Amino acid sequence: MAALLLGAVLLVAQPQLVPSRPAELGQQELLRKAGTLQDDVRDGVAPNGSAQQLPQTIIIGVRKGGTRALLEMLSLHPDV
């Protein structure tokens, strides 16, 4: 249930990459700047110059579920 809720929240929180209607003449400069920001977001570059990446996997644990052991085993793997 928590995974379904998390998925719904992430789906709703996605930024809108395509405008819902054509831009007016006064909004062309704003759209150009927004496009530049979207390119930066896609590249993973933060405004302060640091690199950011979204996680590929989210591990959600429960009591006595072995989550700590899983995290410790993953931390030992050289590719993680």
Catalytic residues: 64
Please tell me whether 66 is known to bind a ligand.
yes
| pLDDT (0 to 100) of residue 6 | 81
In this predicted structure, the answer to whether residue 42 has a pLDDT above a threshold of 70 is no
CA atoms within 13 Å, Cβ hemisphere of 34:
11
Give me 62's structure tokens: 């429960």
Interatomic CA distance for residues 14 and 64, integer angstroms: 33
Residue-wise pLDDT tens digits, 54-68: 778 887 888 888 888
Please tell me whether 61 is known to bind a ligand.
no
What is the rounded (10 degree) CA torsion for 2, 6, 8, 18?
-170
**AA letter at 16:** Q
Interatomic CA distance for residues 41 and 66, integer angstroms: 35
